[in-house]
Amino acid sequence: MEGGSGAVVTSDPRSPEGKEARLSSLPDLSERQQLQLDTFRDALFEHNKTTNLTAIRDLDGIERRLIRESVRLVRPLESVLPPEMGRRPRVLDIGTGGGLPGLVLAIALPDIDFTLLDATGKKIAFVQRVIDQIGLTNARTIHDRAEAIARDPALREAFDIAVARAVTSLPALIELGLPLVRLGGHLLLPKGTAIDDELREGKIAAATVGGRILHAAKLPEAGSGIATRLVMVKKTAPTSETYPRRAGLPSRSPLGRDSGKGHTGLP
């Protein structure tokens, strides 16, 4: 498989399994970045009391299951970027919600430009406020649907990588994400472990919209207690203008589902 699982599976020296881990012990982050992450975590915790930003409501859960899980994507993300691009890489977070994983990645990777997209106004307003508060200059927000921005010539095929966490099924994410990444670009999609059906549909979806699933490597436990897999998809051919289909259809009727009410994979 391309990329090799060695490049993808990150070991995590920060957190012996099950042990309490503080963000302040993360390596490779400056004091400023650590402070930015702490400010984000605290803001998410506070605003989640009044606005529904994430189902994880306790501070420890936010830190372990959201922020640390997002940090684990740093190395896989770097592994699919060519060493010399001649410009700043561009990454899109589809359905960033309260800023996951995109805001964490933007803090950890200041040399990459991040676009954080969400269809829910109050969530994207929160993310923009945090960006302003911590002075991030490499992240911007867009309040829209992926289906809509994929029709914008300035944004279609504009990204090197798209990520998405806890948004929709694998085939739907492939249909939403691949039109937005350039030829040779990638989707990085963290998922749970029970994804055999999604993987089967995802393969068909990828072939339909111009891509290939490279692998779905298991990520080592990072102290969150939750096993995850990272599905990596590469764009290997241009995407037909047919995709993504109109708003809502990619999730409601995923490509590759052959259950009668699903889509056959044909436009």
Stretch that binds ligand SAH, among 8-16, 29-37, 125-133, 162-170 (CB under 6 A): 162-170
Can you tell me which of 48, 54, 224, 239 binds ligand SAH, judged by CB under 6 A? 54
At 199, list the tokens: 């993987």
Number of residues counted as binding ligand SAH (CB under 6 A): 20
Shortest distance, CB of residue 232 to ligand SAH, whole angstroms? 17
Stretch that binds ligand SAH, among 41-49, 108-116, 142-150, 235-243 (CB under 6 A): 142-150
Question: Starting from the edge strand earliest in sequence, which strands make up the sheet with 90-94, in order?
Answer: 139-143, 113-118, 90-94, 159-163, 181-191, 228-235, 211-219
Contact 232, 214 (CB under 8 A): yes
Contact 9, 217 (CB under 8 A): yes
Can you tell me which of 8, 167, 178, 206 binds ligand SAH, judged by CB under 6 A? 167
The CA distances from residue 7 to 75, 194, 217, in Å, are 8, 23, 10
Distance CA 201, CA 38 (A): 38
The CA distances from residue 94 to 1, 97, 168, 227, in Å, are 25, 9, 10, 22
Shortest distance, CB of residue 157 to ligand SAH, whole angstroms? 17
* 21/180 with CB nearer ligand SAH: 180
Stretch that binds ligand SAH, among 71-79, 91-99, 127-135, 153-161 (CB under 6 A): 91-99
Contact 116, 102 (CB under 8 A): yes
Can you tell me which of 48, 96, 208, 228 binds ligand SAH, judged by CB under 6 A? 96
Contact set with ligand SAH (CB under 6 A): 54, 94-98, 100, 117-120, 123, 145-147, 165-168, 176
